[in-house]
Structure 1
Amino acid sequence: MTRSQRQSLARAEGLWFEDCGLIIQADSTLFRVSRDFLAARSPVFEGMLSLPAPRNADKMDGCPFVRLPDSAQDITVFLKALLYSESFEPYPAPTTFTVIASVLRMSHKYEVDALRKRALAHLSAVHPTKLGRWTRLQTPLFLLPPQPVALEIALLARQTSALWLLPIALYRVCEYTHESDIIVGTNDGQLGPVDQVACVKAIRWLETAGASKILDFLWVPATIMGCFSLPSLRCQTSRMKARIVAETWRESEPGTSALLPLTLWGEADWERLEVCDTCLQAMKGAHAKAKQEIWNKLPELFDLPPWTELERMKAEALR
């Protein structure tokens, strides 16, 4: 390495320890860390560092010198997670998607199981495999803004073989990403051909048959047995008005996405109805059943294994 090349490099803040004997370069950033510490936590680094150094191997300040193909950001976050426990605490400690993504990419690549499990636990908490957990889920801050992050999470799940994240990750891609971006990609990446085709097919079903199924409770059956409003037809009229309004929510402007079935009718929307208790309970039951059926279908929509198999994968990965 020439003197001018060395002068263009910067030491990573908080990750340069003078008493340690390994120097790593990622992009134009240098890290000086303990060779033994890194090898003890990563089988990949252990294997890499155990190889005899060639006679002409690069050195810096008398230390072994390793160039990594990873981004400086990923390596910075990864090493901080290894060295400073407070920089990446277990779920439900607050964090950001940037941190989760860097930790997961690097811990998967370098086989640091403890950090990989921790990162997957953060993502799994907001990509549930049970409808009940989805219903109670509050959108975490690290999922915002939704469009690019949804796409990046789907790419990350594929890259790290975390398939149980994909039904919800791809559902969010369908919800927040226009079809052209699904096919062409964005600055955050491009889905693989399998996921591209699956998402385009899923959008068609979710916006048509799926949306109709989730709203059927508003007019099927036309008369609910035991309705207290007969013969005034107050309940039927209220249900029909609500269905007409809900139909407009399925529409989308060019370049935007329509509401999809799992969010098309929310808890607050029940207040739109002026119906008797019998009709209300019957409709809530029909809506819950339709929502469960759509949830059960999500893995199939995206050409993934069924929920039971995905849950098995999740349990094994997080064990």
Structure 2
Amino acid sequence: MSPSPAKRKRTEEAPIKHSEFWLRDGSVVLQAQNTQFRVHFSVLARHSPVFRDMEELPQPSDGPSVDGCPVVCLPDESNDVEYLLKALYDPTFHSQQKLPLAVVGALIRLGRKYEFRDLLHSAAARVTGEYPTTLAAYDAMSTFKTIEDYDGIDFDMVTLLSENNILSSLPLAYYCAVQMTPIETFLDRACFSQVDLRRCVIGQKRLFLKQFQPGYTFGWARKWDFHDNCTSPVVCRISREDFLAVYMEDCDILALAEPKCLRAFKFCAPCTRHATASIAAGRKKIWDELPQMFDLPPWDQLKNDL
């Protein structure tokens, strides 16, 4: 039997120089994954005490270097480092009205890790603005204003908020994620941690049941009391049955639905006023209890660790 061929040794790929951030007068080379960035230590140090301390450390004579510049290996995604450098070297980059979530996430992750405080707080303000802590602010929103929207953004936002301890925005992010999402979708979300997955599954069930309980958003429809001045008892009874059929059929989470949802139904004027007031009071209760639906502390105890 002939001897088996010798296995080839695995060779590491040579690092790639970033096309934009390879500055000829740069004084340090950052390497993230297989990409190298030649930039200025002074620029990094000006915005980050972590890099400021790093710059002041004596560089070992036998340490890795490229073109006389020390190489600092970072355990971060190369795309994240690229977005960070774009924000540092071009202030207009992160001051755009809307940014992709990938950019915002990079500035939050690296901003926390390396203490780029200005970039961190600017990026965090975008996510807390899109996922506010008051019902009035939520009602004032229609579309995303500072982050580019896309299908599935709520799932990615949950992960970003959870991993970076931006807890004040988590209740609404969870709510948006579970609002009209079958449970199978959660199980398919590989990016979800076990904690986030559990909170979403439990919170979805709690919200669906709670929204139909007396005193909450749709509780008035389950236990119907005709208004004293009801002018069309038969029509209002049928409308109430139709309302329940629509809002219970698909098991959607609509606990924060606004009173305008009544427009499609033919309640008389007094019953419309009664249902409108009940919805307004009920959704306020849902909002006040929203964090606890997902096993989080109350709103006033949710602090961001930035």
* TM-score normalized with structure 1 length: 0.83
How many pairs were matched up? 292
Q: What SS does the corresponding residue of 2:58 show, helix, strand or coil? A: coil
State the alpha-carbon separation in 2 of the partners of residues 180 and 46 from structure 1. Answer: 47
Name 2:301's counterpart in structure 1.
309
* Counterpart pick for 1:154 among 145, 154, 158: 158
Residue 41 in structure 1 maps to residue 47 in structure 2: yes
Listed as ranges, the matches of 1:1-319 within 5 Å are 8-89=14-95, 93-140=97-144, 142-146=148-152, 149-175=153-179, 178-180=182-184, 182=186, 185-186=189-190, 189-193=191-195, 195-212=196-213, 213-229=216-232, 233-250=234-251, 259-262=252-255, 265-266=257-258, 269-310=261-302, 313=303
| Change over 3 Å in CA distance of 1:89–1:171 after alignment to 2 | same
Amino acid at match of 2:243: A
Contact 1:222/1:236 (CA < 8 Å) preserved in 2? no
RMSD (CA atoms): 2.4
Higher helix share: 1
State the alpha-carbon separation in 2 of the partners of residues 178 and 275 from structure 1. Answer: 31
State the alpha-carbon separation in 1 of the partners of residues 227 and 74 from structure 2. Answer: 66
Amino acid at match of 2:210: A
Contact 1:153/1:169 (CA < 8 Å) preserved in 2? yes
State the alpha-carbon separation in 1 of the partners of residues 58 and 114 from structure 2. Answer: 20
Contact 1:101/1:156 (CA < 8 Å) preserved in 2? yes
Q: CA shift at 1:53, angstroms?
A: 1.6
Q: What SS does the corresponding residue of 1:233 show, helix, strand or coil? A: helix
State the alpha-carbon separation in 2 of the partners of residues 178 and 113 from structure 1. Answer: 38
- After TM superposition, where is structure 1 displaced by more than 6 Å over at least 4 residues in a row? none
State the alpha-carbon separation in 2 of the partners of residues 75 and 115 from structure 1. Answer: 13
State the alpha-carbon separation in 1 of the partners of residues 280 and 126 from structure 2. Answer: 27
Q: CA shift at 1:166, angstroms?
A: 0.9
State the alpha-carbon separation in 1 of the partners of residues 155 and 212 from structure 2. Answer: 22
5+ residue gaps, structure 1, are: 251-258
